[in-house]
Every structure is written in C-alpha cells, then in structure tokens.
Amino acid sequence: MKNILKLLVVSLLLSSVVPNTVLAQKINKKTAKADRAFDAEEYFKASELYKKAYKKTKNRALKAEITFKQAECYRLSGNTKRAESYYKRAVKSKYPDLIVYLRYADMLMINAKYEDALEQYDLYNKKNPTDIRGEKGMKSCQFAVQWMKNPTRYLIQQMPVVNSRSNDFSPAFGNRDYSEVYFISSRKGSSNDKIDERTGEFFTDIYKTKLDKKGKWSIPKAELEPINTEAHEGTLCLNENGTTMYFTTCKVESKKSLGCGISISQRKGKLWGSLNTLQIKLDSNSTIGHPAVSSDEKTIIFSANLSGGYGGKDLWIVEKINRGQWADPVNLGPAVNTSGDEMFPFLHQDGTLYFSSNGHVGMGGLDIYKSILSEDGLYVSSVNLKYPVNSSADDFGMIIERKSERGYFTSNRVKWTDSEGNERNSKGGDDIYQFELPPLILTLQGVITDTKTGAVVTNSKVKLVGDDGSAVEFITDNTGSYNFDLTPLTSYEIIVTKEGYLNNKVTETTVGIEGNTDLVKDINIDPIKKEIILPRIEYDFAKSDLRPQSILDLDLLIITLNENPNITIELNSHTDFRGTDKQNNALSQKRADACIEYLISKGIPADRLLANGKGESTPYVMDQKDGKLKVGDVLSVSYINKFRFKKNKEKAHQYNRRTTFKVLTEDYVPTKVEEEVTKEK
C-alpha cells in the first residue's frame, strides 16, 4: 500500500497489526513523544520523531525497539521499501519479538523479492511453527513465481488522464453505459488543503471523470458538498442508474479517529442531496466501509471489524427489510473471510463477488479474488485472479461491466507490462488500471482415417455436439480433415459417420483450459465389410471362459453396436491347432456363444448377433511385429512347429485363440424400445 487511506480510507485498518506487547511499552522519555504520535496513528509524524530518538540513545535494546517501530510506521503508511530496510535492521539488531521475521518476509514479498521472502518465511516458520502465516507466506511466494511465468490472458492498461502522482483508487461506475467513473484521490486540491499527519498526504475526496465522444476520459473533477468534506471520503459504489451513491466517510476530531461509516446520497438533477447514514446494527466500537450494492439495491456487502468474524476486517452482507431498514449483518463465511483483511467488494450482476484480501494465498499485499454463488446461495470458494491482474503490491477495487470481462481496478505496483509486452512505469502511488479479458480462442481439428489401411477418408460427416446444446457438422475434404471452433467450459461428443464404415464417437472437453489452445483429435473409423479383430478377447488353452480383459473389449463392441443401431454382426471364435477338429469346433462355438451371452446380458438384441465357431480352420495373420512374429506371418501348424522355444510357440497359439466380428447387414430396424434404451446409454 502506498498509504492506509485505501483500507477503509484510514480508520478501518488502523486498529490492527501492531503487536500489543510493543504498543504497550512506553520505552522512556526519549521515545514518549514518538509513541504518542504512533498511538494516535500519525505514522508519518511518528517516523520522524523516532529518527530523532534513535540518534539520542546508545542503548542497543532501545535502538532495536526504535528501529522496529520505525519499520512499523513505514509499513502502515505504505512505504514498503523503507519498511523492508528497517525490518532488516531490526533483525540484525536482534529485536526479540519473532513477529519481526514475519514482517520482514511480508515486505520482501510485497517488493517482489520472492526468493528472499521464502527464506524469511521458512525461518519464521521454524521459529514459530504454530503460526500458519509462515506456511501461507511460503506457499504464496511459490505460487507467485509460477503465476508470473504463466500469466493469464488479462490485458491491462493504465489510465493516464485519470491518474496523478498522488493516490488514485477505488473506481466505481457512474451510470448504466459506463461513460462515467467515480474514484478516490488524495491529490492536491482536496476540500481540506491540510496534510494528514498520519499519512503525510492530503485528505481524500471523491472525483469524477467522463468519457467523451472520441473515447477519451476528461480531466477529473472533485465532487462538491455535501459529498466531499474536510474529512476523508472513501470507497464508493452507485446504483445502476447512477442516481444513488453509497460511500465511505471517515471522521477525525482533534487528531483522533472517530471511525468510518457508510453514507448515502440521492442525486437531485446535477447535484447530490443531503447525506443519510446506512442504518444497520453495529458493535459499539466497530467501523465499516467499502459498500457494494446489488443491482436490485436489496443487498449490500461491506467490510467491517464486527465481532463474530474471522479476524481482521471481514466482508458482511445485509438484506433490505423495508425502506431505510436493513436486517442484521451476516458474515460471508470462511470461504471468503480469513484471519487477515477482506475489503473492496464488488457485486457483479450475475452474483459473482470480487474482493481483495491479504489473508488468502496470494502474490503479496492485497490480491483480487472472485467467489461464485453456489446453488444454495452461499459463497463456497475464492479464486485468485493471478498475474497480471495481481502483483506483489496491493491490487484491489476491481469493477466489471455486466456483459463483458472488462473494467477497472487499482494497483500500487511500480511497473506494469502493456499488451505488447513493454514494461512501463506507474504514475506513482495507487493508480487505476483498465483491464480486459480477450475471448478464449479454442479450436479442434483432426484427420479421419481408415482403421485398416490408414488411408484418409474423404466426404465423411463429422458432427460436434456440446453439452451446452450446440451442434455443428463438417464434411471432410480431400485430405480427410475437419475443424471446429470450440467454446470454453464445454464438453463435446465428436461423431463420425460415413457410408460403408461403422460410426465412431469420441469425446473432448475445454473444461480446465485457460489459454488459447488448438486441440488435435485424429479419428479412425472401421470399414464395415472387413473382419475386425478384438485383440483383448483371448482364452486360456482348452477353455471358453472370458478373461477380465476380454470384457473390456466386449464393452467397446457394445458401444459400437449402440452407435450403429442398424447393423447385425457375426462373431467368429477360433482355437489353436492342438486337439481334434471335432473338439476345436465345439470349443470355438462355446467361445462365440460366451461372447453372445454377455452382449445379450447388456441389452443387445439376440437377433442382431450370430455366433460362429471356426475351430482351427483360419490361422491368424500377423498385422504387427511381436518378437519373432513378423507382419504378414501366417500362424499355421508348420509355422508354429518350426520354433524351438516353448514361449514363442505359446505366443503364436495365443494369437490363434481369438474372437473377431464382422458386419452381416446394415438394414436392421430396431424396435422403439430398443431405440429408447440406446438413447439412454
């Protein structure tokens, strides 16, 4: 963070993160003035006072304490580079509280020094193994490196006219056509021209920019009273028509924070009306902000430190009861909230929640996440949007258009990469970025070939059927090729038909594919007039029992029969040449009958099947090399007997003990019952 203002614009974060044991210590008179400023959350002022106190003491323990508190000041005011440097000094000074290792690791990660951060998290994990933050930090570093090597398809672009050298953050759509954007800024020209001693910057106000006819944003202008005041105005949202504004207001009196609340104003013509406070039940010392309103304005999600949460700032939801009346806040639960801080919610029209958190595994600082509603109306998981939306710095305040993956978010990253891969510098502090997720380009192509000859099959019909209800067809050209455009998150059946061939069906899916991908699926189809060998249907010597692996091939045959409901087939079973002709004829018939019985048991009509025992009359002809057996070899009696070793003979015998099938007719007419059964399968 460049400053604390973005975190509920001052007060919502200021109550956390510094160890109570440290704050409780008033070291001595040399640091008393600095301590008072620190406790008053005047971190900019306190850091300067600690510098003076450091120079006035020679006590090593006191120097270590002051160094740590200086680091805390820089961290809480968003100066992560100085914070990193001072935590490092505190470690070298042997500051006794173990939290110094975690803080140092956090700053290293926020400053994108992932390898160094990983070492410090590991060290903290060993020194304090009961604190899960060390393990979470290690995982975050590892994931961050991986995500940067494999960025998502998001394209980002800084908004040059809108951003300034000060902090510009938390954009909000101002109307239905997205031609107005409101945001928060601490730039010079604030309605309070004084410097906030807690941050060293101007007070924050709400600004607005408009899109002109040429597609360019206007120079931002600050809103007038009653919206902007001498206090801080923070993160906001508007209803879809831009007629109602919900925004965070934080008040300070006599250098003391009085907390934050949510104010509501109605537009009256071109001006905003008087402010009303969102009336919800709160704890006595709680502070809330960061409103996100649903499209029907009946639901508001906000960030708060209410009791009953999971630690830090959680996201809560309230439902409207009557005009101006809201139900009690309900916590969004552990899928969203953590022991860290969850803030900057945005409710998409489809119910998806976007928010920022430093409690989930992420890349450093605040990361942006999204959570989708389950069927029972609960947010059940949170997904990190990864790089380049997220970075090692703070990334937050994402807003998205209704019908496209396009919108804005805030980041205080030092550098960013444009769509052409060029690295650019940020304006400084928090900046607002445009983002867009270009369409995912997914294609499918392949070649249809004859199973037996390997030749391409022209003029075959390839039908693509998606589980999204889509169905398209393609006729293969003289190269046997087909191609389709696919849709993300869809599973498909690819059905190939051609006269004179058995239909074939394969599956493909785009579920889980996140990058542009060209899928290739070559498909073989079996010619109807040729005998087809079922290689898994093998038998033990002198037996007709089906082996377990033979069942697998018969199940494939069932699929073929269901996909080709108009064919009838003949199953031909064979034996090796051991035994008499009579014995082998009977044995082969039993083998064929065993296959038929299995097919019938699975719902294939008996009148589509013919069993034929061929005995030893048709030796197998090798169609592939297998040891001593070569392509084209006929496994006859004389051929097998020439082998000296028993293992070679037995291998040849096994090839002869087989079952094949061939198509007899193509004009079988299934009954209506059979058709329904086939459809179900």
pLDDT for residue 324:
79
Number of H helices, E strands in the chain: 14, 38
Task: Tell me how far apart the alpha carbons of residues 646 and 665 are, in angstroms, rounded to a whole number.
Answer: 42
- Single-letter amino acid, residue 157: Q
pLDDT for residue 9:
40
Does the residue 21 lie in any domain? yes
Series of mean pLDDT values for 10-residue runs along the chain (681 residues): 41 40 50 90 90 91 95 91 96 96 97 96 95 95 96 92 93 96 92 78 93 92 93 94 94 64 92 93 85 95 94 94 90 95 96 96 96 89 96 97 94 88 87 94 96 91 96 96 96 94 93 93 88 73 88 90 90 92 94 94 94 93 90 93 90 91 86 58 52
pLDDT for residue 258:
63
pLDDT for residue 599:
95
Does the residue 159 lie in any domain? no
pLDDT for residue 418:
83
Domain identity same for 662 and 603: yes
pLDDT for residue 66:
95
Domain identity same for 580 and 490: no
Q: How many CB atoms lie within 10 A of CB 511?
A: 9
φ/ψ of residue 117, rounded to 5: -60, -40
Domain count for the chain, please give it.
Answer: 3
Domain identity same for 505 and 641: no
Does the residue 506 lie in any domain? yes
Apex 319 CA angle, 274 and 369, nearest 5: 95
Task: Tell me how far apart the alpha carbons of residues 108 and 102 are, in angstroms, rounded to a whole number.
Answer: 10
pLDDT for residue 528:
83
- pTM, two decimal places: 0.74
pLDDT for residue 678:
55
Say what angle helices 99-110 and 114-127 make with each other, to 10 degrees.
160
DSSP 3-state assignment of 277? strand
Which among 474, 500, 525 is the end of a domain? 525
Q: What's the token pair of residue 460?
A: 């075959």
First to last CA, the chain: 58
- Tokens 């500051």 correspond to what residue? 95
Domain identity same for 137 and 42: yes
24 is in which domain, residue-wise? 11-149
DSSP string, 379-406: B---EE--TTTS-SS-EEEEEE-SSSSE
3-state helix, strand, coil in the chain (%, to 5): 25, 30, 45
Domain identity same for 141 and 36: yes
C-alpha distances in angstroms, 15 versus 12, 23, 394? 7, 11, 19
- Is the Cβ–Cβ distance between 347 and 332 less than 8 Å? no
Instruction: Residue 459: give its domain's CATH number.
Output: 2.60.40.1120
Peptide bond into 226 cis (omega under 30): yes
Q: How many CB atoms lie within 10 A of CB 546?
A: 20
